[in-house]
Structure 1
Amino acid sequence: MIAKLEMLIALATEQHFGRAAQSLSITQPTLSAGIKQLEDHLGVKLVERGSRFGGLTPEGQRALVMARKIVGDARRLRDEMRVKRDGLAGRLRVAVIPTALTWASHLAARLNDKHPRIGLTIRSAPSQNVLSMLENLEIDAGITYLDNEPLGRVSSVQLYRETYRLVCRSDHPMADLPGVSWGQIAGQKLCLLTPDMQNRRIINRNFMEAGAAPEAMIESNSTVVLAATVARGDWVTILPGDMADFLVTGMPLVAIPIEGAAIAHKVGLITEHQEPHTPVLAALMREAAALAS
């Protein structure tokens, strides 16, 4: 039954039979048969079928909510039993907003240093995707903004408050300034994160409050692309402090504090709200709290 509920979750996530089957490493006929068996077992139609996936029925939507809870509980039970047998061991899947990847690496290293049998798989994702991936059981935890989007029912540990730096070449006219304002930056050649990134929306708001609306001629969802663009010419970019300091190390770049940001947004670790957490997730949250302090 658990396997068939996982099929329903995968189908709801992928919205496509072929991709859902691929995500589970099974064939499409196996997936279709599993969904049909689940429908027969429950006595209701769960999926609208035609020449392609047509969405979940109202009964399917309700079943999906319960499936996520049952599958989540089953995975927690499995993890609890594995810890009792083998000690703290396993692999955690963590999705992270691009601007917090340096913090994710610090956290992963701390956790593995203390618990060498816990591995982590870290993925970069926009903040709204972090939440949906957590809800769909695609990840075990995420690092995202805590105070800028509705998070729903999650457990969280604040890691830091986001501050901002202007990143430019060391020979740029602004390179020797002790600090810059949002208005000063507005007239520069800007490369920024893409508009789907929450960090970009925060930057846009800061420009708007400064009475500016500059256009970024180069956009990317990769901070590495932004830093490489700046290193090639007279471009500038805006990044959170820790990420900016990391990317300028060993490069002909400087990171200059930006003055006058309206709000220093909180960034932290989130997990599904559960009492108690599995031992492995609890260890992750303890290390997050230690890193923040």
Structure 2
Amino acid sequence: MASDMLLQHLDYLLALAAERHFGRAAARCHVSQPTLSVAIRRLEKDLGIVIVQRGHRFEGFTEEGRRVVTWAQRIIAERDDMLADLERMRGRLTVTARLGAIPTAVPASPFISGEFLRRNPAASVRIEALSSREIARQLADFEIDAGLTYLDDEAPPGTRSVVLYREQYVLVAPAANHLMNAPEVAWSDAAGLELCVLMTTMRNRRILDANMAAEGVQYRPVVEAASVDALYAHLSHSGRATIASTAWLPQLGVPAGFAARPMVQHGPRPVIGLVVPDRAPASIVAAALAEVADDVDLEAHIAAAWDAAGDRRG
């Protein structure tokens, strides 16, 4: 086996697995398509198997090919961890930390990424908004180093977690709305508003739906979106409302002309935490992110933002 080229071939294979298209995979690797195709064929020859189902275009992987992709993910992750460990020994991490975050946790992510960059000034961070299920998949496939997600029955298996905060829900609506005069808002009352909420693929939406159902009501949102920013954008200059997490307040606050009131709490408040793969040896980047999560008091930051929003609570 031509082991001196194997790691590069595995990089190409993982790009193909991610893009599922030879041309896009080649562009991702900054090589020509023929170069990538030849490398994949060389890998097939070295391993003595067929990896890719070929027709006029990429048609998927064979059963053996899918197994090779799984091993390639592990091997490349171990290579990257080795390089990061050597950088750490030299006192300088230059890696890119890959962080997946559910949409409701994206506004809180700067507290993690900011402290990570302060401790590792030569590093960088890539944050992607993902569903809780996609975070679980990408952690298992070594595509991200850590995830900000719910720590409940949907938490990814094979991970360890650090609790960051518990979600508290508040109604953000025009300050003139009569509901803003109440000490807290019933979900059945909020159901009558023009609500902007996240899409049904998001765990947060399923939590909101369950709270509505607990009060025996159904509701029909006027806007469904895939990001918190999109929800806030639809509040401006309108009579619409949203049910927000107080974790959004440090970054997004309460829009001018709006107020925020607590929602009635049904059951335990959902827990948000940082999850990293539970494997040995531990990923250097994942361990560094977990160390930051252990040290950052996100609950205190969120509580301070909620206190600061006091003049816009109605």
Normalising by structure 1, we get a TM-score of 0.92
- Deviation per CA, 1:202-259, whole angstroms, max 9, x where unpaired? 1112212221110112111121221232232211111212114642346222221111
Aligned residue identity for 2:276:
T
* Distance change in 2, residues 1:177/1:228 (3 Å): farther
Contact 2:98 2:125 in 1 (8 A): yes
Q: Which residue of 2 aligns with 1:101?
A: 106
1:118 to 106, 116, 123: 123
Q: Does 1:133 align with 2:138?
A: yes
- Deviation per CA, 1:80-128, whole angstroms, max 9, x where unpaired? 1122234344331212111112221011122223333333222222222
Q: Does 1:84 align with 2:89?
A: yes
Q: Which residue of 1 aligns with 2:170?
A: 165
Deviation at 1:48, TM superposition (A): 0.8
Q: C-alpha separation between the residues in 2 aligned to 1:27 and 1:49?
A: 18
Q: Which residue of 1 aligns with 2:10?
A: 5
Q: Does 1:25 align with 2:48?
A: no
- Deviation per CA, 1:163-205, whole angstroms, max 9, x where unpaired? 2111112222222222111111111111111122111121112
Q: Which residue of 2 aligns with 1:206?
A: 211
More deviation, 202-211/145-154: 145-154
Q: C-alpha separation between the residues in 1 aligned to 2:80 and 2:63?
A: 26
Aligned residue identity for 1:173:
H
Q: Which residue of 2 aligns with 1:230?
A: 235
Deviation at 1:63, TM superposition (A): 1.3
Q: C-alpha separation between the residues in 2 aligned to 1:222 and 1:150?
A: 20
Q: C-alpha separation between the residues in 1 aligned to 2:34 and 2:141?
A: 23
1:275 to 272, 275, 280: 280
Q: C-alpha separation between the residues in 1 aligned to 2:134 and 2:72?
A: 20
Runs (4 or more) in structure 1 with deviation over 4 Å come to: none
Q: Which residue of 1 aligns with 2:75?
A: 70
Deviation at 1:130, TM superposition (A): 2.0
Q: C-alpha separation between the residues in 1 aligned to 2:76 and 2:120?
A: 26
* Distance change in 2, residues 1:89/1:51 (3 Å): closer
Query: Equivalences for 1:250-289 in 2 at 5 Å?
Result: 251-289=256-294
Contact 1:165 1:255 in 2 (8 A): yes
Q: C-alpha separation between the residues in 2 aligned to 1:260 and 1:172?
A: 21
Q: C-alpha separation between the residues in 1 aligned to 2:275 and 2:31?
A: 30
Q: C-alpha separation between the residues in 2 aligned to 1:239 and 1:249?
A: 10
More deviation, 210-219/5-14: 5-14
**Residue identity (%):** 33
Q: C-alpha separation between the residues in 1 aligned to 2:132 and 2:28?
A: 22
Contact 1:248 1:255 in 2 (8 A): no
Normalising by structure 2, we get a TM-score of 0.86
Contact 2:107 2:252 in 1 (8 A): no
TM-align CA RMSD: 2.0
Contact 1:182 1:258 in 2 (8 A): yes
Q: Does 1:49 align with 2:62?
A: no
Q: Which residue of 2 aligns with 1:151?
A: 156
